[in-house]
Amino acid sequence: MKNISELFGSLVFSDAVMQARLPKDTYRALKKTISQSTHLELEVANVVASVMKDWATEHGATHFTHWFQPMTGITAEKHDSFISVSDGKAIMEFSGKELVRGEPDASSFPSGGLRATFEARGYTAWDPTSYAFIKDGSLCIPTAFCSYGGEALDKKTPLLRSMDALDKEAMRVLKLFGNQKVKRVTATVGAEQEYFLIDQAVFAKRPDLIYTGRTLIGSRPSKGQELEDHYFVAIKPRVSAFMKELDEELWKLGIPAKTKHNEVAPAQHEMAPIFESSNIGTDHNQLTMELMRTIAAKHGMVCLLHEKPFAGVNGSGKHNNWSLSTDTGVNLLDPDDNPSDQFLLFLAAVIKAVDEYQDLLRVSVASAGNDHRLGANEAPPAIISMFVGDELAEILDAIEKGSAYHGKAKTQMEIGPKALPHFPKDTTDRNRTSPFAFTGNKFEFRMLGSSFSIAGPNFVLNAIVAESLRQFADRLEKAEDFQKDLSALIRETVTAHKRIIFNGNNYAGEWEVEAEKRGLSNLKTTVEALPAFITPKNIEVLTRHNVLAEEEIHSRYEILLENYCKVIHIEALTMLDMVKQEIIPAVLAYESDLAALIERKKALGGYAASLEENLLAKISDLSVSLGQKLDELDDWILNRKSDADILTSASYYRYTIFTGMSELRLAVDELETLIGGKYWPYPSYGAMLFSVMI
């Protein structure tokens, strides 16, 4: 391996490459576009394109593609070669027009009614704030994707709009504090990514994993995560080889992969990058997920990014670490040793935003896959609350009461043995159960599902915090006595929204009761959560900050519900197939062998009730229940109303079909424990979870 500094960003048309290769005035014009969101002239784009093409071809690229993020949640690309033919000779060409704009057929991407199928035109538009890169021989140009009418059909557009809104309102607030130097405030994000790795051979035998990403049946293994012996344990050589290659490939793309470790469940792992701007962090997380999949395959493994591949052990999430940075390098959510009023005002803005828009944050993490985590028997729960830690809690308390707060001195950590170092202890402990935790100088939103694009949760966060800041700025800009009004505003905000702060154990049953008393929302499933997307309050905040127009919100609401129905539909069909084609024949074969054995033994005479008879009786009983549950589910699928409105359909899928699947699963899983291993058609949980042995 080359050294890391040589490797890092070697496949990225980065700022350094641009500075080295672009003519000075072109570079300056492009930088202005990037830092101040100004429009880029076509002549400039032509120069950039030509330099980009030379750089890309020198690095082995033959094609270019506009790389975008449609509403499917994954990325899309359509490759064109640089080749054009002139006098029978191939020349490599790439124009500014091709760089700036693409025109993919949009009709096969979800649009939620924004575009009829006959209106196929869609546009991709270059996003110069995220660097172009080379992947698999193609120059990939990050782009936004919109319809002919200009409506956003992707995840990036609202994210960029929300970053602009947050910048605008945060700048207003900073000006009030006399800030002259800051020109831009950027939302930053570092997304910790959890995933499972299993052997390709077991994966290939599980249609449920292949079609749905999760196991639809499977009885619990004798060993899961009870011993807590997987978390942080030394990494197996095969996994380690995968992680090394992943790191290298990520680094080449300028993705600052930083931490890797084993997670709690067997076969579960995590990667965390160093944080970046929301936009770049989002693009990089998409690439990370893609590379995890392709590199796992090279190592004979499959990377599972589903939120709940296996019942009974932890599912996978994504921790969205979020903060606000100025272009002068200040983290606005860093309290330092002595929190300033400016810090407290930004903190108050987040507290207010999270409290007022709990439901919208919940919407941003809703999906069929994530329903297995949130509101199920796993954490974080579906209730949104904030952890601020002991020290900030005391500060907020003092603010509310108008009393003085005298900081907490850091104490020394003393472990005992003399040889161990003494170090200053943090003034507050960590909390791993909170869905939205302040972790020293950033917030960690922990409810995202592992397969999510982080764009959605981030544009919501950016928009709702922009709204708090807007209201603060409106008030403080009119203040006659700034300091007095500021103190009053912080105190009022903390008092009005303190119900959202909870520093205890979010997994405890009492919290659900307490949260209800506090009037916090508890939207347990996607079906319960999504209607909150289109309430007047939530439409108002998104439209006011130009993050999404009303039609765009409605279209996304439709897409999300439609996707929910389709996911459950595919799961149900897959399950029915597995049961009918493989499970039932296996059960019958085992039963018939047992019956034949009993007959043979009886023929020998002197036969008494025996092991095989008891077993056969148990299996027969369960088979009856299996048959009933199977017929029910079949009927429910057949009898679904195809003309129902989308929310009614989604409810039907959740409360009828999904429930039916769970009941059928119970019968199947119990049968698995009784049927002979060589009869059972699918690899067991144990075989999958422990498929990577060394």
Stretch that binds ligand ADP, among 1-9, 189-197, 533-541, 552-560 (CB under 6 A): 189-197
SS3 call for 153: coil
Determine the length of the chain: 694
Binding mask 596-635 for Mg ion (x = CB under 5 A): ----------------------------------------
Nearest distance, CB of residue 334 and ligand ADP, angstroms = 8
Write out the two tokens for 155.
């995840």
> Collapsing DSSP states into helix, strand and coil, what is residue 375?
coil
Which partner, ligand ADP, Mg ion, none, binds residue 156 by CB below 5 to 8 Å per kind? none
The mark string for 387-426 relative to ligand ADP (x by CB under 6 A, - otherwise) is: ----------------------------------------
Helix (H) or strand (E) holding 122: strand 122-126
Query: In the complex, what is the shortest distance from the CB of residue 255 to ligand ADP, in angstroms, rounded to a whole number?
Result: 11
Which entry of ligand ADP, Mg ion, none binds 273, CB below 5 to 8 A by partner kind?
A: ligand ADP
Yes or no: say if 275 and 334 are a contact pair by the CB < 8 Å rule.
no
Reported in sequence order, the residue ranges of 443-530 that DSSP labels E, i.e. its strands, are 443-449
Q: How many residues bind ligand ADP (CB under 6 A)?
A: 15
- Binding residues for ligand ADP restricted to 323-352, rule: CB under 6 A: 323, 331
Q: Does 321 bind ligand ADP (CB under 6 A)?
A: yes
Residue 434 interacting entry, from ligand ADP, Mg ion, none, C-beta within 5 to 8 Å by type:
none
Q: How far apart are CA 314 and CA 379, in angstroms?
A: 9
Contact between 190 and ligand ADP per CB under 6 A: yes
- Beta carbon nearer to ligand ADP, 312 or 440: 440
- Under rule CB under 6 A, residue 272 binds ligand ADP: yes
**Partner that binds at residue 445, options ligand ADP, Mg ion, none, CB closer than 5 to 8 Å by kind:** none
Phi first, then psi, for residue 345 (nearest 5°) are -70, -45
User: CA-to-CA distance for 15 and 254, rounded, in angstroms?
Assistant: 11
Q: Which does 361 bind (CB under 5 to 8 A by kind): ligand ADP, Mg ion, none?
A: none
Instruction: Give CA 516 to chain center in angstroms.
Output: 27
Minimum CB separation of residue 300 from Mg ion in Å reads: 30
Radius of gyration of the chain (CA): 28
Exposed/middle/buried for 275, CB within 10 Å: 0-12, 13-18, 19+? buried
Please identify, using beta-carbon distances, which residue of 214 and 319 lies nearer to Mg ion. 319
Closest residue to ligand ADP using C-beta atoms: 190
Q: For helices 659-674 and 611-638, give the axis angle rounded to 10 degrees.
A: 160
188 touches ligand ADP by CB under 6 A: yes
SS (H, E, C) 270-311: EEEECCEEHHHHHHHHHHHHHHHHHHHHHCCEEEECCCCCCC
Residue 434 touches ligand ADP, criterion: CB under 6 A: no
Taking Cα atoms as reference points, which of 189, 143, 272 lies closest to residue 462? 189
Q: Which is nearer to Mg ion, 255 or 594 (CB)?
A: 255
Pick 401 or 425: Cβ nearer ligand ADP: 425
Structure tokens at 549: 């127009």
CB of 395 to Mg ion, least distance (A): 23
Is there binding between residue 322 and ligand ADP (CB under 6 A)? yes
Of the pair 241, 264, the CB lying nearest ligand ADP is at 264
Contact call for residue 274 and ligand ADP (CB under 6 A): yes
Closest CB to ligand ADP among residues 143, 323:
323
Region of 183-191, 290-298, 519-527, 573-581 interacting with ligand ADP (CB under 6 A):
183-191
Task: CB nearer to ligand ADP: give 447 or 575.
Answer: 447
Q: Which is nearer to ligand ADP, 250 or 302 (CB)?
A: 250
Choose one: 313-321, 406-414, 467-475, 516-524; the region binding Mg ion (CB under 5 A): 313-321
Question: Which of these ranges, 183-191, 204-212, 311-319, 324-332, lies near Mg ion under the rule CB under 5 A?
Answer: 311-319
Binding segment for ligand ADP among 272-280, 282-290, 381-389, 417-425 (CB under 6 A)?
272-280
First to last CA, the chain: 23
DSSP-assigned states of every residue in 75-110: -EEEEEESEEEETTEEEE---HHHHHEE--B-TTS-
Residues in region 7-46 near ligand ADP by CB under 6 A = none
Residue written as token pair 């499977």: 218
CA distances from 475 to 172, 469, 481, 486, 529 (A): 11, 10, 11, 9, 32
CA angle 30, 32, 35 (to 5 degrees): 110
In the chain, what is the greatest distance between 2 CA atoms, to the nearest angstrom?
105
Closer Cβ to Mg ion, 352 or 446, answer by number: 446
* Under rule CB under 6 A, residue 139 binds ligand ADP: no
Size of the site for Mg ion (CB under 5 A): 1
439 lines the binding site for ligand ADP (CB under 6 A): yes
Stretch of residues binding ligand ADP (CB under 6 A), selected from 268-276, 355-363, 412-420, 525-533: 268-276
Strand spans (E) along 284-425: 301-304, 317-326, 386-387, 412-413, 423-424
Q: CA angle, corner 162, sides to 75 and 25, nearest 5?
A: 80
Q: What are the tokens at 92?
A: 């490599």
Would you say 143 or 188 has its CB closer to ligand ADP? 188
Closest to ligand ADP by CB, 375 vs 435, is 435
- The entry of Mg ion, ligand ADP, none that residue 442 binds, CB within 5 to 8 Å by partner kind: ligand ADP
**Min CB(114)–ligand ADP separation in Å:** 32
654 bridge partner residues: none
CB of 272 to ligand ADP, least distance (A): 4
- Closest to Mg ion by CB, 53 vs 319, is 319
Q: Which does 189 bind (CB under 5 to 8 A by kind): Mg ion, ligand ADP, none?
A: ligand ADP
Query: What string of DSSP letters covers 526-544?
Result: HHHHGGGGGSHHHHHHHHH
Q: 216 near 208, Cβ under 8 Å?
A: yes
Looking at residues 318 to 377 of the shown chain, list those that interact with Mg ion (rule: CB under 5 A). 319
488 binds, among Mg ion, ligand ADP, none (CB under 5 to 8 A by kind): none
Cβ proximity to ligand ADP: between 33 and 323 the closer is 323
Query: In terms of Cα–Cα distance, which of 551, 547, 550, 392 is closest to 470?
Result: 547
Count helices and strands (H / E) in the chain. 24, 19
CA separation for the pair 381, 507 (Å, rounded)? 7
* Measured CA distances, 576 to 17, 214, 570, 572, 630 (Å): 54, 15, 10, 6, 7
Backbone phi, psi, residue 267, to 5°: 70, 10
Residue 444 or 571 with smaller CB distance to ligand ADP: 444
Q: Does 189 bind ligand ADP (CB under 6 A)?
A: yes
Does residue 442 bind ligand ADP (CB under 6 A)? Answer: yes
Distance CA 32, CA 40 (A): 9
> Could you list the residues that contact Mg ion (CB under 5 A)?
319
> Could you list the residues that contact ligand ADP (CB under 6 A)?
188-190, 192, 272-275, 321-323, 331, 439, 441-442
